[in-house]
Structure formats: C-alpha cells, structure tokens
A and B are shown apart, each in its own frame.
Chain A
Amino acid sequence: MQEYSVVGKRVPNVDSRVKVTGEATYVDDLVLPGMLVGKVLRSTVAHARIVSIDTSAAEKLPGVKAVVTGKDAPNVKVGWLRGSRDRLPLTRDKVRFIGEAIAAVAAMDEDTAEEALGLIKVQYEELPAVFDPVKAMKDGAPRIQDDAKNNIALERHWNYGDVEKGFRESDYVREDTFYTPSFLCGYMEPNAAVAQWDANGKLTTWVSSQAPFFLRRELSLLYSIPQGKVRVINRFVGGGFGGKCEICDVHVSASLLARKAGRPVKVVYTTEDEFAVQPRRIPSTMTLKTGVKKDGAIVAQTSSIVTDGGPYRSVGGVTIYNHGLANMIPYRIPNFKFDAFRVFTNNQVGMAKRGHGQIQMRYAVESQMDMIAEALGIDPVDIRLKNALKPGEVTVNGLRMRTSGLVEAIEGAARRSGWKQKRGKGRAQGRGIGISCGGFACGPKIASLTDSGAIIKVNEDAGIVVYTGASDIGQGSNTVVTQVVAEVLGIGPEEISVVTGDTDVTPFEPGTYGSRVSWYMCNAAIKAAEDLRRQIVEPVASKLEVKPEEIVLRNGGLYVGERRAMSFAEAVRAVQVSSEKGILIAKGTYYPPDVEWPDPANNYYGNIAGGYSFSAQIAEVEVDRETGQVKLLKVTAGDDIGYPLNEMLAEGQAEGSISMGQGETMYENIIVSNGRVMNPSLVDYKLPTVMDTPEMDVTHVITNEPGGPFGAKEVGEGFIVSIPGAIANAIHDATGVWIKELPITPEKIVKALEAKEKEGKS
C-alpha cells in the first residue's frame, strides 16, 4: 500500500472540534432580525380536488403575518430533472397524497402559526385513490396524472444478448419475487430553511442541502429570476442520505412566506412533516428469473420491477435505472433483460436514499443466489467467486471494470469470519452465517452538467483556502479535500481551510449524491492544487536556476533533490512580491474522461462512471426460533474502495452503512395504509440504537483505481447495498426459511417456520 504524508491518514474530521462544542450551527440555530416562524398545512386526504381554501380566519389571527396557498406561488412545476418537473411546489387544484403541502403560514411565534393552520378551511371533493402500483397499472384504475396512461410514470427496457436462449442452455432456472417497502432516510437534523428577500429582489436562503446548486436552479426557475438573484447558503448539514437532494415544500414555503411578509421566515420540519414528505426509499416489487450452469455460472437473467413512486416523478428514471445497474454489478451476466416501471400511486413520494435503487435489487439477487447455491449444492462463497467481475471485464451494458478487488474481498472476509467452520453448522443452536456482495458506481452520469470545480486562493501568509461546492453532510468531504490539497502542496492539513456551501462564492458542484463527491470534487481540487503548484514552482525554479520538474513539494518546503531550497511560505512570498502574477488564484475542473450517458436510443448502453467499488459482507446472526427474534452478532466485510483517503472516515462510512442496512433488513418500515403513514414517530419507526450495534470487522482491498483521486473510489454508498442480503442469508442458514420481503421481522420468521413445520408433517 502506497504511503502518503497526509492522504490515507486518520486525520480527524476538520469540523469535529466545532461539532463537539455545540458551536456548529444548523438552520434551526439561525436567528435573523424580524424573523417569523413558518408552518405548512398538509393534505389529510390521499386524492381529491380542492374545491376551496378559506384562509380568512387564519389571516385575521393576531400575530399572523402571511398566509400563502398555491395561488401565491408561480404556476411553475419543479422537479429534479428536466423530464420530471411535474410538481407544483404548493399544490393548487388537486392533492395526490396525504401530507401534500397546500398552504403555509408565517407568524410571530410557533404557537400562533400552528393555531393559524387549524383555522384554514380546505374543502375537498374526494377522488378514487389507488395505493397498489400493480392495481394502478390496470385499465380503469384512478388516473393520478393527466399525462400518464395506466399511471406509468416512467419505464425502462434493456435487452442484451438472448435471455431465452440463455435459459435453454442453463442447467437450472428459477424465478422468485421479492418486495422491499419504503424506508426513511432518517437524518437527525430536520429539514429546514430560512429565507429572506432584499430590496434588490434577491432571495437568500439558508438551508440544509445535499445539492445547493440544484436548489438554486429550481428556485430560479420557480420565481423566473436569474440564478444570480438566488443565493443558497448551506449551514452545517445534519445528515442527508439522499433525503436532502431535492427542492421541498420547506424551501418553497419559506421563500413564498418571506416574500409576502417582507420579513425573513424560518420553516423547520416536525417529525410528522418528515414522515409526510421526506424523500424516501422507493418500494419495489422485483421478479428475478435466473439461469445458471451446474457450476453456478450465471447464463441469463431477467429482472422485472414495479416501483411505487407516489404521485410525482421526482428523481425520474434514475431510481429504476439503478435497479438494473445493481443487476449488472458485481456478477457477470452474459444475457440480460430488464423491464422496469415507476408507477404513480397516491402514496408518499419515493426518491433517493443511500444505495439509491440498488440496495433493493442486491437484496433480491443475493437472496436468490443463495437459493440457487442451495439447490445446486454449491457453497455460497464459491458461487460468488465463480461469478465475480474481474479487472478488465466489461459488463453487457457497457460498464468497464478497470479494477476490481471483489475476489480478494470475498476470500478475505470468508477467511476472517471462519466461514468454513461455521457455515451450515449452527442451525441447532439457532446460529447462522450468510454472505452477500455488491458494487457501486463512483458518481454516475445522470444529468448534462456533472462536472465539479474547485478554486484555491492563497492568503498573504501562504495559508490556503479551498472553495468547492460540495456539501459535507457529515461524511467528511471537507476533511478529504483538505488532505488531497495538502498532499499535492506538501504542506500540513492545518494550513488549509475549506469554504463550501454558498452558491455565490464557490464554483458549481452538482451535489452530494450518487457517491460522486470524493471522486469528482477531490479530482477537481487536485487539479487546482497542481495549478497552484505550477504557479509557485515556475517562477521560483528560474530564480533557483533549476528546472520546475526538479522541485518537489514536501514537509512544508520546496526541495531540489535532498536539499530544502526554501519553505512553502517563503516560496509563496517570493512569488507574491516579485511577480505580476503575485495574487495566487488557482482553479481546477474535473470530468471523467471515459464516461458515457446511457443512451435510451442505444439500449441504455454506456459506461456511466469512472470507477466501481466493490464489497463482500458476511453476517452472523442468532435467531430465537420460538419468538423469531434475530440478533445480528457480527459483520465481517471486505471492500474495494480503491484507496482510503482517510482510514478513520472510511471506517465510519462502513460502520454507518452496516447500521443503516441492518435497520432496513430487520426493523424499519414506513407502514402506509390507504395512503396514511401509520408509524410517524422515530420510536414506532424503529431506527437502530446502540443496543443493536453488532461487532464489525472491515478490511480494505487496495486496488488504486487509476482515475480516482490518489487511487480512491467511492466509499459512502456501495457498502450498504449488500447488507440486507448478507443478513437474510444468515437468517436462512440459522432457520432454513427464506423471507422474500423486508423487513425480516420476528413475526415473518415465526410464520415461515410454522409453515415449514406443517409442510414437513404433511
């Protein structure tokens, strides 16, 4: 493993000191002079025409300063992508799910705003609603959007090779259907916004966003003002996990209310707001048909999915594309057919959550992989090694694996977990062990502008300021960008400060999603640092009468061979005083050179990312057969994240992923009945606590991805996608039953065991 001086080290998170003292301020901590409190009124019915909204009583309540409805908002539809702008920010004529924003109130204090919401009278004319996506696709089902026949919001179809021929040539073929429900992103900081308009008509909004530049674009489109008239400023972001990418009614109501009241307005979501509108994991029904040879080699697979997107397109085709992407990595499938539908229903809107669209499919694929292994009498580790993508392979849909450490990851995890000694031997004691694998694209290309930029400014005393548009949502992007810039300039990380999250200040960055930040943003920052190095080294080299390439920056100095010619600060000073280029400003932009948009006209073929991460997870569980209670004892994992830019932060991503994946597999579920969320509290929803934390053992396979910054790949998302499969397969090893829908609750296990027992007796 290559050693660097700053990269790869356990550098503490650069924001951690202000976070442990409580100094770090989030949106709700911001107070502006004259600021009002805003609250949002939400629909209580799932599908209805709005006959009338009477706000007169609310407006008359003392302390109320503004009431807005859809009619106060521009008649402009918003959405993440050009093809998915189908949603009025405050609905006007119709409501399409329970919790949809109808109106908002700004008042002197929270109690008054709450009281005013209760005084708004909404008269509905209820319409037939549909909550099951399969029923929604049938002829005669209630129509939710005028432009979508049979409620099909979006569909994707790929066909590679010849699956029918593949099935005929297979020794064993099986078909299974799996279901995953809706999960909450569950970030700890409620979504919030403060908005203020100035006398020049400029909107400034303080937010908690994974994608401030997307938000600026949406607000600019909504209000028909140039992007220069919208300034989006991120505070510290208290987690995101995909749920803070999109424009929400929190942003729209704060800005509409602030405009109408002529004063700054703060809107902070309550837990009920979050359960109503927080972008959630999309529920998915997946039917997989897979054909294999006797040795377990996959010959063909068809993957058919129906997802429940709620009544809007949201992130559009990305979620369903990602399901297919998850079929393609990390196993070799020579013949593949994919049919995917995003369907409109009157449930809440589905969007992105960590492992977007992929964790669902990995759970299905990995469960079925073990069913196949069992039927053929192959060890689950061996069947995975047989099918694992190797370096240099190109998948049938065009994904190019320049590096892959998957085989080593599987072998290492199997060895360290004691797989051979444990597998298939613990059922009498209720013990089980299971394996699952995954892979993940590092920053897939999903929109036209996905470049990142970075600017470096040098202070008069040679201190470095890096400007990037990336949102540090806790994962530590501010820390890793500090490390890569320090490494290039040969200085300590303490010499560097990072400025992010202000659309008026930093260069463009699409946002913190799709596991793109380390790859794109660090590559842009490296280029900027190299630009700065050149600006410093070239004039100094001529002074020293050496060639620029003879100068090496390390240990805070400029070296010619072993001789320290001068300190970094002296070099900067020399350039600043002597050259007409003394104001040192450097820039870098990055776009991966060999990435393609998966063109619909070409069967969605294309290499969508510069690199792909891999992981293999082995879970060990203990199951109480009487109660169905599962305890996750240990997760042993190997991952290929290329090269860890910061070992401590990389571990943190893996550990957080295990916990979040454990929640989705064992406890969590947004229970929706006739469009109503039945468990809208953190206790009833059941987020994992410290009591649930298993033992964890994560080891990296170092592959030094050529296109990655210092060889790094993504680290934030890929790790989670294989957790549910590993736990599900361990539960099977412990009990002999398969649970084909998440979460795998004690009730489902007990029922399955009872059914199995009956089957055995009959």
Chain B
Amino acid sequence: MRNKGTPILEFRSVSYRYSGTVAVDDITLTMSAGDFMAVVGPNGSGKTTLIKLALGLLKPSGGRIRLFDHEPGDFLDWHRVGYVPQVAAGIQERFPATVAEIVAHGSYSGFAPLRFWKRTKTAEVMAALEAAGVAHLSDRRIGELSVGQQQRVLVARALVGEPHLLVLDEPAAGIDAAGEEALNDLLQRLNHEQGISVLIVSHDIGAVMRQANTVACINRSLVFHGQPHELTQNELGKLYGFPVEVLLHDALHEHR
C-alpha cells in the first residue's frame, strides 16, 4: 500500500469508564498502514471496548484517538474501514436477508435514492464472496448458515468496500479449527498481497503470534506493545495477572 508506515490508528492515554468501572485505562498505542496488529488479553480485559473506541462506537472518557487522522466520532470515510463484528453472539435465525444482500451493504457509500431498484449481486459482491470462500452461499439466508460461514460472509461484507483497514473482533470465536485456519490464511493474504492493514482481537495468543507483526497485550491497561517475538513469559504472566500454571489450574477448576 502507498504510505506504508504512516500511522492510521493512534491511542493517546485513552481511558474508558462506565458506571464507575474502568474498562480501559490509560492506553497509548499506534498502528501504522500495512501493520497486522493483534490485540490480546484475557476475557473482560477491554479488548472489545478498545475496538469500539477505535471505531467511534464508544466515546473515550479520557485521552485522544485518531483514526486516519480524524476523531472517530467525526470520521466520515467509513469506506476505508471494514469492520467484522463478533458473530457468535447471534445473527437472528429468521433474518430474511440473503448472503448477497448482506455483502452488498458493505459497498454502502452514502445516500443513493435509487439503490433499492438496482441489482444486489454485482461483480464486486461476487468477487468479495469469492475472496472469502463463500460464493456458493450467495442466495442462502444469512440466518441459516453456520457461525463459521456467517463469519466469512461478514468478512466478505467488510472486503467489498475495498477497505484500507480491516478490524475483526474475535473472528475465531465459535468456528472450528479448519475454519479458523482458512480465515487466518485469508487475512494473511490480504495483508501481504493487497497491503490491507489488519487489526484483530483475539484471546488465542498462539494463533495471532504467528501472523501479527505488532501485538498489543491489554488487561485494562497496556501490558505490552511491540513485535510478537519480544514478548516475554514475564509479560504474559503480567497480562493474565498470575503465572501460567495458576491460570491452567484455574481453567481446570472452572470446567470441573
């Protein structure tokens, strides 16, 4: 991509509080064009809140955010951003939209009064579905697909607008290992071949370590921000608040 290396997303001492709880505490980080940045952290660490702040869906209680050099709240160039929300929580089973209709929404570029009368399955929509590997599902209802397929449809929806930045919130949640690998391959190709910047939230550190060139570990505050190979055991311990053995023990305890 042109301008590789220019900052596209910046957090300066950003905090977010709701009803007395601090969800995000004094986070400063920078993402540059061409980056593949992973945000990792335990459940409830503020990862999704961070994404919502970056996209202007939440207003920070303190600090400053710049998205393509604008306040996210005043940002208008949404075609530069492709957002893939968490799908596992639920698309209505009865939602009558077809896959092609959902993907066509991604090419929205403001008021167009005659859009209702135009074809939905355009070449761009089909190309995006092809890229996400779900072209064969174009006429199916979004609600009747598996979670993994819905995830890919939303990736296609994000791709159809030819974004510069792709933001994915826990895309691996609710999909099987094969689906996760296919998705990871796709993101890797988009990043390497088309220079699309990727910001991905995950709680699976292993998976994103292999792909990302930048990692932000957060547990309300920023624990680590840098290249994945610089991340130490010590910082991982700090991220989860206690040594890994204890974490494992706790996980076993919870599932008993």
* Same complex origin of A and B: no
Q: Interface residues, chain A, CB within 8 Å of chain B?
A: none
